[in-house]
Every structure is written in C-alpha cells, then in structure tokens.
A and B are shown apart, each in its own frame.
Chain A
C-alpha cells in the first residue's frame, strides 16, 4: 500500500529506569516512499528508536507520528499501518511457515478465503513455498528472516520497519532481501525504515541515511551527500621504481593537493573528483612512469562516522549494548 505520510519524530528521548539514556533527542523526517537507513554501531540506540516508532515502547520525552498517526495517542492506527521485522526473528520453532502466516492473517481479521490467498502469495514472494509446511526450527537463518518479512507484509502495510534485517545472513540471502526491499519501495510505494550496522547495506539500499551514535543523530543525508561532506576521492600511486617517487608526486600535483599515503607511494586529493582518473593514467603514461600500484579511494560512510564522532564505525560497538528484549524487560521491571 502506498504511503502518503511517512515518519516524523521530534525530540524523541528514551531513558531507562535504572539506566542509560538510550535515545537522546532524535529529530527525523522520512518522506513517503523513501528508504531511510539508520546506521550506527551496537548500542547506539537504533533498536530503541524503532521500538518507540512501532509503539512498543513509550517515549520518555518528545513525539513521533507514523503514517500520520501519533505513536502515543493513536497506537492502534499506527500498528494497522506498519509492518515490522524486529531484531529477533520472532518465530515459534514448533509451527510451520504456513501456520505462522495463518496465525498472522487471522490476527489481522482476514476472512478464510483472503487468508489462504494472501499466505500463498507471500510464501511465493519470499521463496518459501516449498518449505511452507516444515517446522520453523528446521529453517536456516535466511529462511527465518524471509518468513519474518512475509509476516510483516501480511496486511499490506504502507510503512515497513526492518531492524538489522541481514545480520548473520550469508551474501545470497542478504542480496535477495535487499532486492525485495527495493522492489517494495519502488513498485509499491512502501516507506522503509531500516536500521543496520553495515555500511554497504546503508550505502546500497538507502535513499537517505541517518548516522546515530550514543542516542543522537550525528549526520543525515543521502550517502553521496554525506561522503562528499567529508571529502573528495584520493588517488594513490606506487611507482615501480621507488626512485621515481618525486616525479610521480609532481605529475599528481596537477590534479589535486598532496595528502597522506603509504610509505612507498604518493597520493593526492582530487580537485575535480574521480573523473580525473583517466587523465591521471594518461599523464603517467605520457611521462613514461611505470606504476606498480594505483588506487582510487572513495570516502566511505565509515569516514563520515569517523569525521563526526572521532571513532570508526566498525568495531565501535558499545560494551554495554542493551538488546531489545532486555530493553523491554528493563522497562517492565
């Protein structure tokens, strides 16, 4: 179902009863039909934010509207408009895939005929028709995630929340899931709010990315915009004859300012961007300078994270990470 309202949050805060300020004032706006990537290390507050937006956790302060409804005062309407695949693939190992779909469709009040049709359709869509009548405990991680997605889509929601959907999956399953998410956004106008700790996932899928650290958004924009903020691409050259370093440096200097490089090479930050790469190669060739190694470095989202927080994203996980189940338990204690 096409979404017309998107997601809005103002000053969202979540403080736990004996504990951390997991979300510390988040403002965001996700446009209808957009894929928004929420990127951050473990413990940054991604899952807590999602729990608030899907109405399972009340915010301590601030407000949010999802699909045009307030998450605190209009919970049932929010839930009717969203689908969620949260961090744990919340499945019952004793039930089959088909039984899960039957349960979910019944909970949504579908008629018997609709239930059957919708279940069949979704099983086909996620490629689980063959395995539909096997118990979920026999499913691989990828299959469980696919079933999880199917269950989230049962009532054709206009907004989909995916909390770390490809963590622990093999490449094939990850790519398949990405393809499906893109299709949902592109062909069905579903708004997707996706949290991830994987750079390439945010890079590949998201129209816009919000980078979160310690409960706050530290940067927001499209992947290209964010990377451009941090810097332009660099080119590094290692000459075959190490004596030629100075000559290589002089050639490269025509294309940009010198910057740090490996000991045997020289590097410049390109003035005009990666389009210059072909020119650089021609110039080196014209001067008869033999090159052992030439590499173009694009700034990555990790560079963005590093620039904004002083830490690298990979390996930046908080030791005091609180899992979503633990968060809810903390809240209810």
Chain B
C-alpha cells in the first residue's frame, strides 16, 4: 500500500517539475527578475551603507536575502496557477476518479516547488558569491540557508495551492500577488528595522513575519550564526508551512468532494 502511495507522490512530483520545465517563462522569470531587482536596488541604495549603524558595508550582501523570498513568491504563483488550471480543465476530476489520495496530490505539487526552490537558491547564492559577497556562516551556513529557503517556498507554495483549491481560479491566484508584494515591502526588506525612522512603518515591519524570514537568511550572509534570528526565521517558516498545508488540505478535501 505504501509503495503505491510513494509511486503516486513521485509521479505527481515529477509531473509538477516537468510542467515547470516546459514553461520556460516559469523558470526564467523567477530567476532573473529578483536578480535584476537586486542589481538595481543594490546599485541605487549602496549609499545607505554609510548610515551609522548599518550592519554591513555591502548593500548587495544586505539585499541578497530578498531574491530568496521573491523567488519563492513567483514559484508560488506559478504552482498555484497550474493547480487552478487543473481544476478548470477537469484534470483534477480525472485524478479524483483514481485511487489517488488527496495528500499525494498536495505532496507531489509541493515536490515540484522544492525542486525549483533548490535550483533558485543555488543560483542566487552563486550570483552573490560571484559578485563578491562573503557568506559569514561559511559552507555550513549555505546549506542551512538552502534548507530555510526551501522551507519558505513550501510554506508560500501551500498558500498558493490553498488559493487555487479554494477558488478554482487562476485569476484569483494571480490577484494574491499584490498581497504578498505588500507583505514583502512593508518589512525590513530594504532597511534594518532599527534604522526605520517612521514609527508606524517600523511597527508594521516588526509585526510582519516576512521580516523575520528575511532577517534569518540575511544573518547567515552578513553576521554568521545569529541564533535568535535563525530561531525566529525557522519558527515563522514552520508556522506558515503548517498553517498553509492544513488550509490547503482542507480545501483539497472539499474540492475533491468524493464519497
């Protein structure tokens, strides 16, 4: 029985990866756009490193954490849209008529996201190292960074899957993009929290879980081993993942609605 389940998960994960690979825009865009933004922002805001209290003198090193979150965001949108398309074309019904277990579908879907997450992380790290960023936490830190980035992708991916399963609509998934975008911007993305002057902005950034995800990744790059930052980052990543997977599973059960 478990062999069959494993086979189902593997095949669905494979399908998820194949679909991504066969839509080149879905690979290129999540890789290129965040790096482009990084280049623009690092160039434009390099002067900010001269602010007293700025934690590093390389804005690229400071900002390198951001592509990991943006990449997760794009991959989420693509995965969610693909799942919504499955619902709209009736492909999900086809799967529902097989002995497939719902959890296999979700796991397989997320499997594709894991694969993309690993590739994206390697690319961003590679680019960062190529432009001279030093990883203060060393090779071990790089591994931890990849694990954290992938965990974040899974969490976001499950949110995208929830949106797709709940609404059955690709447009609805796409309309989540601005929401995620807002969460990304109203965080310590561009400036350390203690250097945000405007009180309400700093308060929002402090309450925003995305700040802690960014800060955890950032700490591995510019600080080394900051236990508090890592604990908060992993903690929030796990929490988001658990909640999102639960929501997605419930939505999947409703959507499959088989007797």
Contact = CB atoms under 8 A, between A and B. Distances in A.
Given A86-B93, A92-B19, A109-B4, A55 B258 contact: yes
A90 to B, nearest CB: 3
A94 B85 CA distance: 12
Contact of A80 (B86, B99, B258): B99
B57 interface: no
B258 A56 contact: yes
Contacts of A90: 89-94
Interface of A: 54-58, 71-73, 75-76, 79-80, 82, 84, 86-88, 90-92, 94-95, 99, 102-104, 106-109, 135, 151, 324-325, 328-329, 331-332
A76 B97 CA distance: 9
Contact of A86 (B23, B90, B100, B255): B90
Nearest to A58: B259
Contacts, number: 87
B11 A102 contact: yes
Interface string B220-259: 0000000000000000000000000000000000110111
Contact of A106 (B8, B93, B94, B254): B8
Between B23, B89, B255, the greatest number of chain A beta carbons within 10 A of the residue's beta carbon is seen for B89
Given A79-B98, A90-B89, A90-B91, 20 more contacts: A54-B97, A55-B97, A55-B259, A75-B259, A76-B99, A79-B99, A80-B99, A86-B90, A88-B89, A91-B91, A92-B91, A94-B19, A94-B23, A103-B12, A104-B98, A107-B100, A325-B87, A325-B88, A328-B93, A332-B257
B7 A56 contact: no
Q: When A and B form their complex, which 9 residue pairs have the shortest distance between CB atoms, in order from nearest?
A: A90-B90, A107-B98, A75-B259, A109-B4, A88-B90, A106-B11, A90-B94, A90-B91, A94-B22
Contacts of B8: 106-107
Contacts of B86: 92
26 contacts: A55-B97, A58-B257, A71-B259, A72-B259, A75-B258, A79-B99, A86-B90, A88-B89, A90-B90, A91-B89, A91-B91, A92-B19, A92-B86, A92-B89, A94-B18, A94-B19, A95-B18, A102-B11, A103-B15, A107-B95, A108-B99, A151-B94, A325-B90, A332-B254, A332-B255, A332-B257
